[in-house]
Amino acid sequence: MNPRVFDKLKTLADAAKFDVSCASSGTSRSNPQKGIGSAAGWGICHSFTEDGRCVSLLKIMLTNHCIYDCAYCLNRRSNDIPRATFAVSELVELTLEFYRRNYIEGLFLSSGIVRNADYTMERMVRVAKDLRLQHRYNGYIHLKSIPGASREWVAEAGLYADRLSCNIEMPSEQSLKIIAPDKDYQSVFRPMHYIQQGFLQGKEEKKKYRHAPRFAPAGQSTQMIIGATPDDDNRILHLAHSLYQRPAMKRVYYSGYIHLNTYDTRLPALPAPPLVRENRLYQADWLMRFYHFGVDEIVNEVHPNLELELDPKLSWALRNPQVFPVDIQTADYEMLLRVPGIGVKSAQLILTSRKYGRLTSENLRKIGVVMKRAKYFITCRELPAFTVQEARPEYVRRMLLSPKHKENKQLAIDFDHALLPLRSNV
Amino acid sequence: MLYFLYDRTFDGLLTAVFDAFNRKEFPNRIVDQAIAIPLFTDTFSVITDVEKSKRVFIALKKKISTSALNMLFVCYLSEMEDVEMMIFRYIQKALASPISIELNFADNDVLSLSKIYKKVQNEAMHIKQFVRFQKTGDGMYFAVVDPLYDVLPLCSDFFEDRYADQIWLIYDARRHYGLYYDKKQTEQIHFETPPAFAIQKGRLTAEQQDETERIFQALWKDYLKSTTIQARKNLRLQRQFMPRRFWKYLVEKQ
């Protein structure tokens, strides 16, 4: 192996690291021809870097030369950094050798744009094609679709890749135009649309012919940068919501802005990346995807931003005390999901277990319900009736925020609230 | 106190269930026949009989689903103290109940077993994540692992499917046996004494390694270093996902 590969790997891994997606889930493919590799259907993380992010795919760029000058990007034309380009064969060998040693689950290939979008796409597709056809590689491949790429190349990419992605980058078109003058929403949405069409078409053909080629079976994902522009969470989550309405869209990633471009005045000088906000956005994203929340319930004109100190579900619950307490024994699945402290798994366990008898608070705790939070929002046998109704939302908020709070609530009740008529244990 | 002694096989455990019902004598504990038994304890030695275990299996199949049966086997692999009794009681309840008990998580045994199941499956997942093959001079891919539970049987299909065109060996340093795949099938190989490579902490010496091995290990370390975002450094998070106990056999942590 060429000794220059060491330098290339360092440069191009460094260049690719701000892509958040590392998912290797969504495709299940076994290896009947006894080639190399399989896709497990669920993601497998093979290592974790010092920033705690998982390494599932070999996330790398084909080249970090780029004709664009997007202010947020490390690889913008005007940035003075070392540049490198992988040969297709070098990248194929690297992927296979890492794969054989169980270091990675597959390849995530992205690229800076050289000459034009199609020229770049062609080279990326060649890597995927070589892996699939020449080396009978069945592992995961995630290809980045270059903004502005034509339908033909997106269609070809979809034949070899498990997932395609096209980053929307900024939560609004105005922001994108200011920060990345060479891009607009059209250039992002068009490839996204091609992927969606290919995906649906592939599914349709699969119904008719069993051996019809699969088109990007793990769908597509996208990513936007948080905190680089004044867009609020309302805007971000509504955009994410509308993206999730598209059939092939599997994930929207949020990436907290890191202030790397120190000379550009279009970007804010954040002292640290907005990690808490990013986390809250992911929680809100989960509420939309797995907890049956409508986006307007999480953020709206009145509450345009997520609360940083409370998770969005608790925040919603405290804004809507009228729907609580929820009776564990009779509430439907949708309602159980809305109780802070009950997740998808515990909600399902409650549903199945309560058929056998009444659940006690001890049962709930063992099932995995976080009683510290849930106790204010539920009624079940032998739990003291001191719910958000009796205690008022402000009190619950204070209780759940103060870290030093002792479990003994007799000591914790202050005089304002001690005057409330407390029901005795039922 | 009545102890049932068995040979630590799953068939042995099911035979114990059969014998208990047959003799109408129910054990307080079911333990490995090799351990020391406390004084003043009655014992009964279970002699593993595949016929008996099959009959228990068939009876169970009428009462619980295949996934619940599979769960029992996975829990048995945990090798946890007294998991035998939990399985025993689970079977007892399953056979006695007119409807399937497998979803009654308000029952202590059902819940504990479902938790143990999760733990064992997690450990199997960890093995799939953190196996690091080293290529030997003769072209075999070789890895050492040290799982808390006996999970190699659960990983065998996964590795066989994924690395179908290479010869590999995964060695369990705690239990002194390994899975060996020769491009045709996977088999278990048992070692009488820990082999040399286990003593050198799973590291192959320079002579044993393929000449490219060193290069790809170095590339892998370089890659992980370059892909880290320093502004988001969070070592606690890293340890949470990749517990320390796996580090000794991880290439990137040497």
Q: Is A204's pLDDT higher than 80? A: yes
Going by their DSSP bridges, the two strands A57-61 and A106-110 should be labelled as parallel
The string of pLDDT tens digits covering residues A237-277 is: 999 999 999 988 999 999 999 888 888 888 888 888 899 99
Distance CA A349, CA A364 (A): 9
Phi-psi bin for A281: left (phi > 0), alpha (psi -120 to 50), beta? alpha
Q: For chain B, which ranges sit under pLDDT 50?
A: none
Domain ranges of chain B: 2-122, 131-253
Closest partner residue to A273 (CB to CB) among B103, B163, B232 is B232
- What number of residues does chain B have? 254
Contact A373, A311 (CB under 8 A): no
Token pair for A221: 């994902």
Distance CA A168, CA A238 (A): 14
Distance CA B250, CA B203 (A): 10
**Which of A166-170, A383-387, A405-409 has the least mean pLDDT?**
A405-409
Closest partner residue to B224 (CB to CB) among A16, A49, A275 is A49
pLDDT tier at A422 (50, 70, 90 boundaries)? very low
State the average pLDDT over residues A386-413. Answer: 70
Contact B156, B117 (CB under 8 A): no
pLDDT tier at A105 (50, 70, 90 boundaries)? very high
Q: Give me chain A's average pLDDT, please.
A: 87
Taking the model in full, what pTM does it have? Answer: 0.86
Domains (range + CATH), chain A: 4-264 (3.20.20.70), 320-418 (no CATH)
The string of pLDDT tens digits covering residues A327-360 is: 999 999 999 999 999 999 999 999 988 888 888 8
Single out the residue of A121, A114, A115 nearest to residue A75, CA to CA.
A114
CB A101 to CB B220 under 8 A? yes
pLDDT tier at A423 (50, 70, 90 boundaries)? very low
Percent of chain A clearing pLDDT 70 (strictly above):
93
Q: Is A383's pLDDT higher than 80? A: no
- Å from B55 to nearest chain A CA? 28
Q: How far is CA B61 from CA A181, A220, B65, B66, B90, in A?
A: 66, 42, 7, 7, 13
CB A34 to CB B183 under 8 A? yes
Q: How far is CA B175 from CA A389, B150, B151, B202, in A?
A: 56, 8, 11, 14
The string of pLDDT tens digits covering residues A276-292 is: 999 999 999 999 999 99
Query: Residue for token digits 């030369």?
Result: A65
pLDDT of residue B198: 63
DSSP A4: H
Closest partner residue to A13 (CB to CB) among B103, B143, B223 is B223
Q: Does the beta carbon of A7 lie under 8 angstroms from any beta carbon of chain B? A: no
- Interface pTM, i.e. ipTM: 0.90
Distance CA A279, CA A168 (A): 19
pLDDT of residue B239: 92
Which residues in chain A are closer than 8 Å to B129, comparing Cβ atoms? 44-47
Q: Does the beta carbon of B59 lie under 8 angstroms from any beta carbon of chain A? A: no
Closest partner residue to A357 (CB to CB) among B106, B183, B223 is B106
pLDDT of residue A404: 55
pLDDT of residue A415: 43
The string of pLDDT tens digits covering residues A127-186 is: 999 999 999 999 999 999 998 889 999 999 999 999 999 999 899 988 888 888 888 888
Helices (H) then strands (E): counts for chain A: 18, 12
Q: Is A426's pLDDT higher than 60? A: no
pLDDT of residue A265: 83
* B29-32, strands of its sheet edge to edge: B29-32, B2-6, B42-45
Percent of chain A clearing pLDDT 90 (strictly above):
51
State the average pLDDT over residues A296-318. Answer: 93
DSSP A231-274: --HHHHHHHHHHHHTSTTEEEEEEEE-----TT-TTS---SS--
Classify each residue of B213-241 as buried b or exposed e, where b means 16 or more C-beta atoms within 10 Å of its C-beta.
Answer: beebbebbebbbebbbbeebebeebbeee
pLDDT of residue B71: 95
Q: Does the beta carbon of A412 lie under 8 angstroms from any beta carbon of chain B? A: no
CB B219 to CB A47 under 8 A? no
Token pair for B24: 């109408």
Q: Is A417's pLDDT higher than 60? A: no
Distance CA B31, CA B7 (A): 8
Contact A111, A124 (CB under 8 A): yes
pLDDT of residue B178: 92
Residue ranges of B 146-175 with Cβ closer than 8 A to chain A: 158, 161-166
What share of residues in chain B are helix, strand, coil (percent, to 5)?
Answer: 50, 15, 35
Token pair for B250: 């991880």
* Bridge partners for A255 per DSSP: A225
Task: List, in order, residues 6 or more apart from B111 with CB less than 8 Å away.
Answer: A366, A367, B105
Distance CA A141, CA A24 (A): 8
Residue ranges of A 289-308 with Cβ closer than 8 A to chain B: none
Contact A143, A105 (CB under 8 A): no
Closest partner residue to B238 (CB to CB) among A49, A272, A363 is A49
* Bridge partners for B31 per DSSP: B5
pLDDT of residue A187: 87
Q: Which residue of B has its CA nearest to A101?
A: B133
> In chain B, where does DSSP find H-type helix?
10-23, 50-63, 66-76, 83-96, 108-130, 152-162, 196-199, 213-226, 235-241
Contact B91, B26 (CB under 8 A): no
* Bridge partners for B60 per DSSP: none
State the average pLDDT over residues A64-74. Answer: 90
pLDDT of residue A403: 66
Task: List, in order, residues 6 or more apart from B235 with CB less than 8 Å away.
Answer: A50, A52
Cα angle for residues A288, A290, A296 (degrees, 5° grid):
20
Q: Give me chain B's average pLDDT, please.
A: 91
Q: Does the beta carbon of B218 lie under 8 angstroms from any beta carbon of chain A? A: yes
